[in-house]
Amino acid sequence: MVEQRFCKPSVLGSNPSAGSLFFIPSISRTALKKNSSHSRRLITLLTATFLFGTLLFLRASEPSGDIRVIEVQGSPAVIVMADGSTPPIRVNDVIPPGSTVKTPADSSLKLLFANGAIVILQPRSELRLKRFASKDALPMQTTTGHRPSELSKSHTDLDLQSGAALLDVPPLKKESKFQVTTPLGIAGIRGTRFYVSIRNDRAAVGVAEGLIITTSLIGETQSLAAGQAIGLTAKGLTRATAGETSYIRNLDAAFGTTRQLLKPSPATTTKSRAGYQVSE
């Protein structure tokens, strides 16, 4: 809002009593407050835009790790492309991070990550490979005859929408991050053998080797060691059922073939970091 004031000129040498009146604009306090508020909003918007742009630049510049299909059983699994098409997945295909893979009712899919992690996607499952950043070379992990600890730090973020996934993750660097999210919670690990499942309104996590931190939607956290399992619902963490606990046995059965394919040498064999065995 602009106010008009009547003022007399104060020109040096003039006669004040003979001065004529004229108008000068003046900004009211209300207008100043509005301008100040708009300035703050503009600064906030510019700052947010800058930070978001920086994040996109860093994501774009980070190394994108390779994920290779090393086994397909049953009917071909499919990858969901950006245009909605679903081409079949074949052995030796390299799946780009950001893709979604689906398995039909009679199919399973085994993926090898450049950091040495192996994921077996079970039948009737859907997994989004949200993010995988690693500088490790995938061919080196498959031709040395074993899966050593990763050579460079990595960031793995998987999103299991339905079904079940069995995971075997070698020891990771301290700076690395590996997590599996579901609609009902998150499982974060550093190097272990475990499974994650999601059916209808219930998820479950079970551990065969190593340690896992599970987090529910309401912020509850629980550490799991070898032999332990836990359920997750919209209301939080809950006791695992007998079936969810016994499902842990499937991990050793499933990864027996995997470890024959990529058999660790004696020098790189690692023991479980879990300090005790939990009875069922």
Q: State whether 110 and 135 are in the same domain.
A: yes
In a domain, 6, yes or no: no
Q: State whether 122 and 170 are in the same domain.
A: yes
**Separation of alpha carbons 228 and 193, rounded Å:** 12
Closest by CA to 108, choosing from 264, 229, 258, is 258
In a domain, 12, yes or no: no
Closest by CA to 247, choosing from 185, 205, 188, is 205
- Return all residues near 202 (Cβ < 8 A) that are at least 6 apart: 184, 231, 232, 233
Q: State whether 100 and 52 are in the same domain.
A: no
CATH number at residue 147: 2.60.120.1440
Q: State whether 165 and 35 are in the same domain.
A: no
110-124, 145-159, 233-247: which range is least confident on average?
145-159
Percent of the chain having pLDDT more than 90?
47
Q: State whether 72 and 57 are in the same domain.
A: no
In a domain, 18, yes or no: no
Q: State whether 185 and 252 are in the same domain.
A: yes
Bridge-based pairing state of the strands 202-209 and 193-199:
antiparallel
* Predicted confidence (pLDDT) at residue 234 exceeds the cutoff of 50: yes
- Give the model's pLDDT for residue 24: 46
Q: State whether 106 and 196 are in the same domain.
A: yes
Q: State whether 44 and 120 are in the same domain.
A: no
- Give the model's pLDDT for residue 190: 76
**Separation of alpha carbons 115 and 190, rounded Å:** 12
Bridge-based pairing state of the strands 212-216 and 100-103:
unpaired
Q: State whether 47 and 157 are in the same domain.
A: no
Q: State whether 34 and 103 are in the same domain.
A: no
In a domain, 249, yes or no: yes
* Predicted confidence (pLDDT) at residue 187 exceeds the cutoff of 90: yes
In a domain, 147, yes or no: yes
28-32, 38-42, 116-120: which range is least confident on average?
28-32
**Separation of alpha carbons 172 and 222, rounded Å:** 21
Q: Which of 17, 39, 61 is the last residue of a domain?
A: 61
In a domain, 100, yes or no: yes
**Separation of alpha carbons 49 and 56, rounded Å:** 11
**Separation of alpha carbons 60 and 236, rounded Å:** 35
Structural domain boundaries, residue 43: 28-61
Q: What is the mean pLDDT of residues 245-263?
A: 69
| Phi (first) and psi of residue 228, to 5 degrees | -105, 150
Q: Which of 11, 40, 61 is the last residue of a domain?
A: 61
Confidence of residue 57 (pLDDT cuts 50, 70, 90): very low
Q: State whether 48 and 70 are in the same domain.
A: no
Output helix, strand, coil percentages for the chain, rounded to the nearest 5. Answer: 20, 40, 40
In a domain, 114, yes or no: yes
Q: State whether 140 and 50 are in the same domain.
A: no
Q: What is the pTM of this model?
A: 0.69
Q: How many domains does the chain have?
A: 2
**Separation of alpha carbons 122 and 104, rounded Å:** 9
In a domain, 190, yes or no: yes
**Separation of alpha carbons 7 and 227, rounded Å:** 88
